[in-house]
Amino acid sequence: MRSKVTVVGAGNVGATTAQRIFERGCADVALVDIVEGLPQGKALDMLESGPVVGSDARVVGSNGYEETAGSDIVVITSGIARKPGMSRDDLLLTNMKIVTSVVQEVVKYSPGCILMPVTNPLDAMAQRAFQVSGFPKNRVVGMAGILDTARFRTFLAEELDVSVESTAAYVLGGHGDTMVPVVGSTTVGGRPIADLLSPSRLAEIVKRTQDGGAEIVGLLKTGSAYYAPSAAVAQMVESILFDKKQILPCTAYLEGEYGIHGLFVGVPVKLGANGIEEVIEFDLTDEESAALQRSAAAVRELVDVMAAAG
């Protein structure tokens, strides 16, 4: 019997995520949205591509949560998207209410699932999902670091005219302007990035990575990124469903790791059948460590605002 993945939100991120999972054939998919006909239409369209892409997976669309029952993973993409000039943090209280409602519903039907928040501001939404669900910390894992790292690796590969597969890097911290590309451990073809790029050019690429989402929002004008985010979610889903135990940068609840307590922040984790099976700690430079603490402080500010709002 195939595994089952629910994707809540049938907008660009959610629908593309559902498509990627369906095309891999690794799980049946339930696509949920409040807009009548939207998830049903997109699900049917995907299903009819099965003979072409070679997928026998099942995909259904629904405006309710009955179809989500028994899900192994629930991906939460629902919420309002950024517009030009908005930060991820501007979405906080509206999306907090949406995520709260979604989590309350999905845990009724899939009490043993792993929750995967994607809605922005992502770290704060993961914190909210954790609080509302009552799940253990290993079963709430946010998608952010894979996306941020992919952007960093893309820009490095373009700059050095090499394959993206030859770049190795991690981006830690909150999914926002304070994210921390870990330059000290970044390599290209095994060579330290500091040996290949000047400090000024490297700083420019780090800055572009931090502003990567805003750059796309500014170009699209009426939406935000979805191809790269959905690819990141699909990688996480496969690592869990196939118990790959990949080391991936994800948003995880920390209890002392990296000196951070009681907060969801992006760090490398081992992602397997049980969700987050281990938080991987590695040495940071003093500058990187300080930047990570600043990023965590920015996330905590959002969590405090949510707590005050109730």
CA distance 292 to 284: 9
DSSP 8-state symbol, 270 = E
The residues, ordered by sequence, that sit 6+ positions from 282 with a Cβ below 8 Å of its Cβ are 185, 268
Other beta carbons less than 10 A from residue 308's beta carbon? 7
175 is annotated as an active-site residue: yes
Evaluate the omega torsion of the peptide bond into residue 121 and state whether it is cis, within 30 degrees of 0.
Answer: yes
CA pair distance 252, 278, nearest whole angstrom: 10
Length of the chain: 310
Pairwise CA distance, residues 105 & 161, whole Å? 47
Separation of alpha carbons 296 and 294, rounded Å = 5
Who's near 1: CB < 8 A, 6+ residues apart?
A: none
Angstrom CA distances, 260 to 34, 294, 297, stand at 37, 11, 9
Which entry of 20, 153, 175, 270 is annotated as an active-site residue? 175
The residues carrying an active-site annotation are 175
